Amino acid sequence: MIPSGHRRPLAARPAPLRLAVPGFAHPLVAPAEWGGLQRAGLPLDWVTLGSTTLREADGVTGGPGARQDPYWLAAAVPLRTAGIRVLGHLDLAHGARPFGELLSDAQRFLNWYRVDGFLLARCPADADALPEVRRVAGALRTVLERAHLVLAQGTHPSPGYAEFADQLVTFAGPWSGYRWSRAAEWTTDHPPERFCHLVHGVPRSHLQEALRVARWQGAGTIYFTDRTDHGAVDPWESLPGYWDEIVSTIGPGLSE
């Protein structure tokens, strides 16, 4: 059942959903996952490179690393060749990362992997932090003019963030919270392709319900997985057990 807070006017033909990949484990550890993304015709919106929950000594997660990684490069090149956006993972650490560090990481992503944009992880959501995040976004578009910028707040931020982001991750978390979540009223002023939902712990038996929630809330890009974060495990590091079912449901007969 979908609560009334999900409801919004529906078009005669709902916009098709696309898939986002917030980042698998390192390609050396998860070669099957990265290889599976190279299958022709997948309805992929973007894939994140350099994402990891492992934190460095300074508390930062993910990033381009200290030197070019041939495994990341081998994962990125086929995706870019297929026309799929590859985004570099930049951890804003809720606004604590120095401006210069972020630009340095962005430049390394560009130099080593020729990314198409950036996922700004742990991005602040409050109005007070908006000017600084806007400054970062402007600098990233100076470094890469047509950068595709995804702000990953994981919640509905102050509406001003939508003014300079290509996409907002307005939900990132477990199915137990997602199934009863509600979209902010201001999101109805924007098309579905501006919003992304990342949900873990979705049982196969509730997959269709989760897809309905995404459509009702006006999200055009999704990633659902049955993996969970129990035991501090990264739920995004491997493919969901029902990956082919998701692909065949939202894509035109793409499941093998």
pLDDT at residue 254 in the model: 38
The residue written with tokens 């930049």 in the block is 90
pLDDT of residue 189: 96
pLDDT of residue 60: 82
What pLDDT score was predicted for residue 38? 86
In 10 A of CB 79, how many CB atoms?
A: 21
In a structure prediction context, what are the per-residue pLDDT tens digits for the chain, which is 256 residues long?
444 444 454 443 456 899 999 999 999 999 999 999 988 789 999 999 998 755 554 568 889 999 999 999 999 999 999 999 999 999 999 999 999 999 999 999 999 999 999 999 999 999 999 999 999 999 999 999 999 999 999 999 999 999 999 999 999 999 999 999 999 999 999 999 999 999 999 999 999 999 999 999 999 999 999 999 987 788 999 999 999 999 999 875 333 3
d(CA 228, CA 243): 15
Show Cβ contacts of residue 14 under 8 Å, excluding neighbours closer than 6 positions: 215
Cα–Cα dist 107/110, whole Å: 5
Nearest CA to 224 out of 153, 187, 172 is that of 172
pLDDT at position 62: 87
Q: What's the pTM value of the predicted model, to 2 decimals?
A: 0.91
Q: Count other Cβ atoms within 10 Å, centred on residue 2.
A: 14
Of 116, 131, 95, 135, the closest CA to residue 46 belongs to 116
| Length of the chain as a residue count | 256
- HSE (side-chain half, CA atoms, 13 Å) at 91: 17
Q: At 124, give phi and psi (nearest 5°).
A: -60, 155
